[in-house]
Chain A
Amino acid sequence: MIRRVVVTGIGTVNASTAGGRDALAGALALGRSTIGPVRAFDTAAMSSRLAAEVDEATLASLVDRDAARRLSRICRLALGACFLAVRDAEVAGGPGLGIVVGTEHGDFTSSRDFAHGFLRRGPAGLSPMIFPNTVMNTMASIAAIAIGAKAPSITVNQATLAGDLAVARGARLVADGRAEAVVAGGVDELFSDVYERLAQMGALSPMGGRGPEGCRPYAADHNGPVLGEGATFLVLEEREAARARGARIIAEITATAWGNVPVAPHTGHAGCADSGSPVARLIRGRGATGVARCYGAGNGDPAVDDWERALLGRDLAAPADLVPPISLAPLFGQHGGLGALRVGAAALDAARGTSVVLVHGIARGGCRIALVVEPAA
């Protein structure tokens, strides 16, 4: 029997809003960019100065103060969004609940703090309390304990597409019967050291100092991504089980595929064709059945933007209507939760009647993904 996967909850903590499905719908409808000058640290000596930051007061309101004292910021972001998603879906913890967390950078703040302890005081300066946070699955571990997720707890690490990949893997777990429900999404925080190094390496807008700093996906004058931070998680369930418990189903994820376009690490360009990844096969098959709306992973990085346009132009049956795809990066900044936010936006579109929504992504290094979201039957 085929197990169909539906979205029954959304939780998001981002630079624009924090809340469930209604909060996300409101932020998308508002369409206001949250990108502004970085407040968390001094960027005066850096070549980049913009970001989309989550307000600390918003975050503080989501996680119990005692618990928050023991948690790093990225753990609080993940935990806050997971709580909101579980509340939105009204789903309970237990042996049937799993969690999948996607992240690009993980908890580098804790890694830095841990290393600094050693550099300042030698072995005596090392904190056993901080060390566990340096392992990238710490956000999933903390969240699993908090929401009682005893089915698989998985962390996936990926550039640009961490959130999309986590949702696709979560849907796979439900479809395969590995879990009855999965809380799946992504998270990243804005961290000064990462920001500074990426700026130094020319990985952020304005890449190479060309033009004004800003996030302008697919535009002629795009010149790099602008970082954001936040967490977005979806609750995915097997459709019949969700119906049986009276869940408020938002949409159905009817297909997922992810694959690789072999290119050198950290590279990618419009000339790299996808000769046959599962994603190309899915989109070419779907192209004939009418994609009505398409979200993309374009974030202002010319390599990603141009590559995505080229790939979709080749694979979609009616690319003129859908390419360039819609990018949410100008609203929320590039971060590990953005992919899940894209799928959440697609689910809300489907709930409003959009027939077939494609969520697509390509990352430097060749990871490619597609999810198809449709109204729940």
Chain B
Amino acid sequence: MSRSAARDGRPDVVVSGLGIVSPYGAGVKSFWSGLAAGACTIKPITVIETEGFRSRIAAEIPAEVIATLGASRRRSRADRIALAAAGEALADAGLEGAARTETALLIGAVGGGMLEGENWYWEIARGRPSSGMGALRSILPFSHAETLGWRLGLTGPKETVVMACASGAASIALGADLIRAGVTPTALVGGVDALTHICFMGFNALKLLDPTPCRPFDRDRRGMSIGEAAAFLVIEDAAHCRARGGRVHARLAGYGMTTDAHHVTAPHPEGEGMIHAMQGALDAAGLAAREVGYVNAHGTGTPQNDRAEALALRRVFGEGGVLVSSTKSLVGHTMAAAGSVEAVATILALQHGLLPPTANLEHVDPEVPFDCLPVVARSADVSAGLSNSFGFGGQNVSLIFVRPEVGEVQPKASRQWRGEGQPKASRAD
């Protein structure tokens, strides 16, 4: 039993399944290979027009990967990657029968099926006829939850959480609350976002995009690089997982969620809300800061975010008190998916004893007094990792994952996902 469960008597929450479609490809295996190799996926954009913009790059899911996803091509790009990632997570968890049916579904989302809706709108706004009005049915963020809830046959609580770039992390935290309250024993939680015109144009308009691949924590950083992904976790009441022989990837030991209430787009300059989120997560986990060995930072690469986050990290962990990296330098800022993508990265880092690097980091900003793991992944025996996600509107979520103790790791009970959305190559494995 964790220290938190021992304190309040509520269930421990463990992670029993992982699934992801990222710019590296479909599946956890390709994601981890890419992170471990420190391979940056940020390249010129192909899915939307970029002529005339300051930044014209992003971390895209390759067309050949999208083409292998089994889901109907009538679905939005975001729905298709969400189905594939969610299916992998459920299969990895080996959830079947009633345990699967009663599972909650919480999805962090922002863009919905906007990409397809934009294509229709662009045509009619330019006075051209378009037959694509049906795309509007999937334009809103909640359409992902409708699609997944239906295709995966889930009857537990269903929610679409829109908290900008903290959406994916928030869905994990709020799902954990449902488990700890005894509402449901299992939850499929995560986030999804596909590239959209509005996101690309908006961050360009705010001059928050680096024309070159982003360099979080670098002295010369000039902004972020956007990306797209879907990542899901199956989280579960630890006792329920143990009883059914499920596998434990990690314990979700605690989380903190706060709001700056300061500015719509800028973080609090002293990182006040970030500090409280991280401290809240530590308190919930019953851990001291020195017991956390790795922070997967929000680390967007914008001057403001990285400065405020470094200040907050220094207040919580002390100068140089923890190893820090930003995987956004590898797979871009995947918006609503970022929190769950980075949760998966943090868990895999704990499992493998290898911390993913910060790509493109050449000259560490002197205002960032941490080892930010430049360019090359590093072996480290770390038992607890914290993942930060911050969003527009001053929304801050910090999640702490702890490597399971030896007795907690069960034989892998996962099954291959054979439903809609699974990459065809994997089906044939």
- Residues of chain A at the chain B interface (Cβ within 8 Å): 93, 95, 98-99, 104-106, 111, 114-116, 118-119, 122-123, 126-128, 131-132, 134-138, 140-142, 144-145, 148-159, 165, 169, 172-173, 175-176, 178, 197, 200-201, 257-266, 274-278, 365-367
Contacts and interface: CB of A to CB of B under 8 A. Distances in A.
Given A157-B140, A262-B150, A114 B198 contact: yes
B393 interface: yes
Contacts of B110: 135-136
A157 B141 contact: yes
Contacts of B204: 123, 126
Interface residues of B, number: 71
Given A93-B261, A111-B198, A276 B161 contact: no
A276 B101 contact: yes
B154 interface: yes
B155 A137 contact: no
B264 A141 contact: yes
Contact of B125 (A115, A128, A142, A149): A115
Contact of B155 (A155, A156, A169, A277): A277
Contacts, number: 204
A152 B259 contact: yes
Contact of A137 (B157, B201, B202, B392): B392
Nearest to B156: A259
A119 B125 contact: yes
A157 B160 contact: yes
A169 B159 CA distance: 9
A122 B160 contact: no
Contacts of A264: 150
In the A-B complex, the 6 residue pairs with the closest CB atoms: A141-B393, A131-B202, A126-B205, A265-B146, A365-B146, A153-B259
A91 B126 CA distance: 50
A328 B180 CA distance: 35
A154 B258 contact: no
Given A115-B125, A126-B202, A141-B394, A259 B159 contact: no
A262 B394 contact: no
Given A104-B140, A126-B201, A137-B395, A145 B158 contact: no
B183 interface: yes
Contact of B52 (A123, A131, A151, A175): A123
Contacts of B261: 93, 144-145, 148-150, 153
Contacts of A153: 163, 259, 261, 393-395
A145 B162 CA distance: 17
B149 interface: yes
Contacts of B156: 259-260, 277-278
A126 B55 CA distance: 14
Contacts of B197: 115, 118
A106 B158 CA distance: 19
B6 interface: no
A373 B76 CA distance: 39
A155 B391 CA distance: 12
A367 B164 CA distance: 22
B393 A137 contact: yes
B232 to A, nearest CB: 16
B155 A275 contact: yes
Given A123-B201, A132-B202, 15 more contacts: A115-B198, A116-B125, A119-B126, A123-B205, A135-B164, A142-B264, A145-B261, A145-B264, A150-B260, A153-B393, A154-B163, A157-B142, A176-B177, A266-B146, A365-B150
A149 B155 contact: no
A159 B141 CA distance: 10
Contacts of A95: 258, 276
Contacts of B257: 151-152, 178
